[in-house]
């Protein structure tokens, strides 16, 4: 993995360790749980715990998923570095606090940016390669996080992702590049547990009506 991914992993590991020791996100989630339940359907028992587990897994998978998509792009001769550099910079510039004090809520927008960027790359490349790059559908997980971030902030992040996706707009793959990408995707799909649908696994779903609030509530 490149230094960008290693830096992301270090930021994530610190945030998860901080949450396990202090439980800031879980306590904040418990306080706003009544508002969350209007838009996010959580298990009845200890919804704050399930939401925290979901957020941890959503953030933790970012470096591995991005690295795997970069491998897919690489075998086809496509440059993924613009996406990696933007996401890496986002993780490397957290709020002005000591790095060891950056918790889950502070990284959630960075993770959303990464997941949505992967969606955009997938949407742009799928017509060229005739198959989705992502072996699972991230829509529910991204929509849940969108509700946590608030609609206005999420739209700003979506605009960044749309610009990143344009790097792959209307690309045409040579036959040998397409074959290489298909073979690489098959290898990645065979890795057990590499692409979990953790929203479904944790019984978290999105229900109308949608209520908006910002992650500042969760800090």
Higher pLDDT, 139 or 49: 49
Average pLDDT estimate for 1-26: 90
- Report the mean per-residue pLDDT for the chain: 83
Q: Characterize 94-121 residue by residue with b for buried, 16 or more Cβ atoms within 10 angstroms of its Cβ, and e for exposed.
A: beeeeeeebbbbbbbbbbbbbbbbbbbb
Those residues with Cβ within 8 angstroms of residue 96's Cβ, 6 or more apart along the chain or in another chain: none
For residue 197 the two structure tokens come to 């649908």
Residue 212: pLDDT band with limits 50, 70, 90: very low
Q: pLDDT, tens digit, for every residue of 56-107?
A: 999 999 999 999 899 989 999 999 999 999 999 888 876 545 444 568 998 9
Q: pLDDT, tens digit, for every residue of 139-158?
A: 888 988 988 888 899 999 99
Determine the 3-state secondary structure of 46 from DSSP.
coil
Q: What is the dihedral angle through the alpha carbons of 25, 27, 33, 39, rounded to the nearest 10 degrees?
A: 0
Average pLDDT estimate for 13-30: 92
């Amino acid at each position: 993995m490149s230094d960008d991914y290693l830096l992301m992993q270090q930021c994530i590991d610190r945030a998860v360790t901080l949450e396990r020791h202090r439980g800031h996100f879980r306590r904040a989630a418990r306080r706003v749980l009544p508002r969350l339940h209007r838009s996010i359907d959580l298990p009845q028992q200890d919804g704050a715990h399930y939401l925290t587990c979901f957020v941890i897994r959503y953030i933790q998978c970012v470096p591995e998923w991005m690295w795997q998509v970069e491998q897919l792009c690489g075998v086809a001769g496509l440059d993924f570095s613009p996406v990696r550099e933007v996401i890496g910079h986002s993780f490397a510039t957290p709020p002005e606090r000591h790095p060891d004090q950056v918790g889950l809520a502070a990284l959630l927008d960075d993770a959303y940016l990464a997941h949505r960027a992967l969606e955009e790359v997938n949407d742009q490349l799928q017509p060229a390669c005739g198959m989705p790059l992502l072996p699972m559908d991230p829509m529910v997980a991204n929509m849940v996080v969108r509700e946590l971030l608030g609609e206005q902030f999420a739209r700003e992040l979506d605009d960044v992702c749309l610009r990143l996706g344009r790097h792959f707009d209307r690309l045409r793959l040579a036959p040998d590049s397409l074959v290489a990408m298909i073979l690489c995707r098959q290898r990645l799909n065979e890795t057990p547990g590499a692409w979990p649908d953790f929203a479904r696994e944790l019984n978290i779903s999105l229900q109308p009506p949608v209520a908006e609030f910002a992650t500042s509530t969760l800090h």
